[in-house]
Amino acid sequence: MLPRRLPLLLLATLGCSFALASPPPETWNAPYPEKTAALAAYGDGTRGASVFEICQGCHRAGALGRPDGTYPRLAGQHATVLIKQLTDVRSDRRSNPKMLPFADHQALSVQDIADIAVYLQSLPVPPTQGQGPGTDLVRGRQLYDRDCSICHGQRGQGKGDQFFPRVSGQHYLYLLREGRAFRDGQRRNVHPEMAAAISKYTDDELSAVSDHMSRLPVAGP
């Protein structure tokens, strides 16, 4: 009996280790009930404005975030992106211990999340975001056009239907911080192509590309 089973066991073990080593690409945004429910819910921006009161202590009035990069700008971000990130934080798919108590089930219902997302998406994005030093903009644009623009768009507008975030209007220091986190494998809910593209970036390259993104136009179609 044993010799017959052995190959099967070996195959199963191999299969498991293979699955662990390279997750299928769709797992970065695999559906789970809470995210699906929030995406399907009808978001009410007026209610969202009221729910957002508990967020603005950190993300500031108008969801403009902080130029020091500690809290990102949320204004004008795609609702789908906001829902994915919020539910990912709540379900420990993205680590954010500072934010977690303000985003967990005691603080926000699924409907609240849908409402906030619609509200934030509708907010104006003034060109007041923090920008980088401006010392390496040519390289920044080259890197962006080569590696980033295919998903995040020429103007950094992102793609809401594919959960690709808008990056224009975002604070340079936040982009830089998250860029490092992506590169160093600390953002677990990342698209595999994003992880691959950024994995070999040096600190200087991260700074240059973040600087370029922080200077992308925020107004206009």
Partner 1 sequence: MAQHRYWLLVLMAAWFLCPAPLSAADAKEIARTVCAACHGVDGNSADPAHPKLAGMDQEYLMRQLKAFADGKRRDEAMSGVIASLDPAVFSGLAAYYGPQKPKPGQVKDPQLAAKGRALYEDGNTDTGVPACAGCHQSDGKGNARFPRLAGQHQAYTLKQLADYKSGRRATDPLMTTVGKRLSAEEAKALAEYIAGL
57 binds partner 1 (CB under 8 A): yes
Contact 212, 149 (CB under 8 A): no
Q: Which of 55, 52, 76 is nearest to 170 (CA)?
A: 76
Q: Which of 28-36, 79-87, 101-109, 205-213 is the region at the interface with partner 1 (rule: CB under 8 A)? A: 101-109
Among residues 115 and 205, whose Cβ is nearest to partner 1?
A: 115
DSSP per-residue codes, 3-60: HHHHHHHHHHHHHHHHHHHS--GGGGG---HHHHHHHHSPP-HHHHHHHGGGTHHHH-
Which lies closer to partner 1 via its Cβ, residue 26 or residue 104? 104
Least distance to partner 1, CB of residue 99, Å? 8
| C-alpha to C-alpha distance for 148 and 144, rounded to whole angstroms | 5
What is the footprint of partner 1 within residues 65-84 (CB under 8 A)? 66, 68, 70-71
Stretch 116-175 residues interacting with partner 1 (CB under 8 A): none
Given 29, 56, 142, 149, the residue binding partner 1 (CB under 8 A): 56
Contact pick of 99, 176, 209, 213 for partner 1 (by CB under 8 A): 99
Question: Could you tell me which stretch among 20-28, 57-65, 148-156, 198-206 binds partner 1 (CB under 8 A)?
Answer: 57-65
Whole-number Å distance between alpha carbons of 128 and 170:
9
